[in-house]
Amino acid sequence: MNSRGIAESRPSDSAVNTRKVSAFLVLAFGISWTAAALLYVSGIEYGGITSTILVVVFFMWAPAIAAIGVQLRYGDPIRRDTGSVHGRLRWIAIAWLAPIALLAVTVGIGLGLPSVEFTTDYGAFLAEQGLSEDQIAESLAVLDEAPVPPIVLFVVQGLVAGLTINALAALGEELGWRGLLLAELSPLGFWRVSGITGVVWGIWHAPIILQGHNFPDAPVVGVITMSVWTVAASPVFTYLTVRAQSVLAATFFHGTFNAVGWFSLVYLTGATNLVIAPVGIAGIGAAILATSACVVHDRYLADEPIITGGPISPWGR
């Protein structure tokens, strides 16, 4: 890497390969949306164990399958061009831990919204998830017997999940969005890459949002809300990935976010998911603040700026 740093693009990457990007998007959307359609017509209840497995395997992993397939079709290296390398471990660690702060900000923003209040009524939350009275009683007993406050237990569990099982599920998306798509769109610069990816990512969620994911009481408005959140959060994913020079940063960030995202639904009450969900209005506000933090770091603290308006080189080449 020369003195111009990680913001420099390779001469051979001066233009976007639109055919390759289009092939990737068609394949990713085709697999995911077909899987969502089959889930819908099968009559399997959304939110159950069976549907969750199907969504993870066939919906969430479609972008990765598409990325690998397109790389093979074009004869391009998979690991190198999707950022599947260890990269900068410090930034990967930051990405893994960052969702805890993001969700804390989400709760803080939520408390500033009309009618929203703070709560520690874990039983009410468990009841909303459909648990029986016996299951709720058992869960509350476990929390009471824990040697640490519940929030500490939740954070530890979330971090472990974000590094393991949730990371495995998130990798299915990130090999596509922050792997192949980020690399292929890198000549467009930080903001356009993030904006396009955010829009694509949001629209991609539509079939499962309409089936009840995240916003079961308002699925149509939920599609719009989710898309606004993905656009607001996409620069954070891009920033962490480019700083880490590895798709693992986005993978662990995504995995931990999914593992701790329900914090806002546990500790906030008085409004619907559209308002207090981690991808609702409160979450959108937190994502905007997180993006602002990335801009401040890039402008005033980083040795090598990447939010310059020029092409980026995500893997430091």
| Domain range annotation of the chain | 5-301
pLDDT of residue 7: 42
Q: How far is CA 165 from the centre of its chain?
A: 15
pLDDT of residue 197: 98
* Rounded-to-integer distance, Cα 1 and Cα 115, Å: 52
pLDDT of residue 11: 35
The set of long-range contacts for 214-217, using a CB threshold of 8 Å and a minimum separation of 24, is 214/273, 214/277, 214/279, 215/273, 215/274, 215/277, 215/280, 216/47, 216/273, 217/272, 217/273
Residue 273 has pLDDT above 70, yes or no: yes
Q: Which two tokens stand for residue 167?
A: 């990371």
Range list of β-strands (E), the chain: 117-118, 268-269
Residue 283 has pLDDT above 50, yes or no: yes
**Per-residue pLDDT averaged across 86-106, rounded?**
97
pLDDT band at 14 (very low <50, low <70, confident <90, very high): low
Residue 280 has pLDDT above 70, yes or no: yes
Q: What is the DSSP string of 186-245?
A: GGG-HHHHHHHHHHHHHHHTHHHHHTTSS-TT-HHHHHHHHHHHHHHHHHHHHHHHHHHT
| Contact yes or no for 107/267 (Cβ under 8 A) | yes
**Per-residue pLDDT averaged across 112-129, rounded?**
93
162 or 11: which carries more pLDDT confidence?
162
Q: What is the largest distance, in Å, between two alpha-carbon atoms of the chain?
A: 64
Name the residue with tokens 């900068």: 88
Average pLDDT score over the chain: 93
* Rounded-to-integer distance, Cα 174 and Cα 167, Å: 10
* Rounded-to-integer distance, Cα 194 and Cα 184, Å: 12
Name the residue with tokens 């406050």: 149
Q: Which residues pair with 247 in a beta bridge?
A: none
pLDDT band at 12 (very low <50, low <70, confident <90, very high): very low
Neighbour-count burial of 53, counting CB atoms closer than 10 A to its CB (0-12 exposed, 13-18 middle, 19+ buried): exposed
Residue 64 identity: A
**Per-residue pLDDT averaged across 244-259, rounded?**
98
* All residues at 6 or more sequence positions from 143 whose CB lies less than 8 Å from its CB, including other chains: 122, 150, 153
185-239 pLDDT, tens digit each: 999 999 999 999 999 999 999 999 999 999 999 999 999 999 999 999 999 999 9
Could you tell me the pTM of the whole model?
0.93
* Rounded-to-integer distance, Cα 288 and Cα 233, Å: 7
Residue percentage of the chain with pLDDT more than 90: 88
136-194 pLDDT, tens digit each: 999 999 999 999 999 999 999 999 999 999 999 999 999 999 999 999 999 999 999 99
35-93 pLDDT, tens digit each: 999 999 998 888 788 888 889 889 999 999 999 999 999 999 999 999 999 999 999 99
pLDDT of residue 266: 95
* Rounded-to-integer distance, Cα 139 and Cα 236, Å: 34
pLDDT of residue 130: 80
pLDDT band at 317 (very low <50, low <70, confident <90, very high): low
**Per-residue pLDDT averaged across 246-255, rounded?**
98
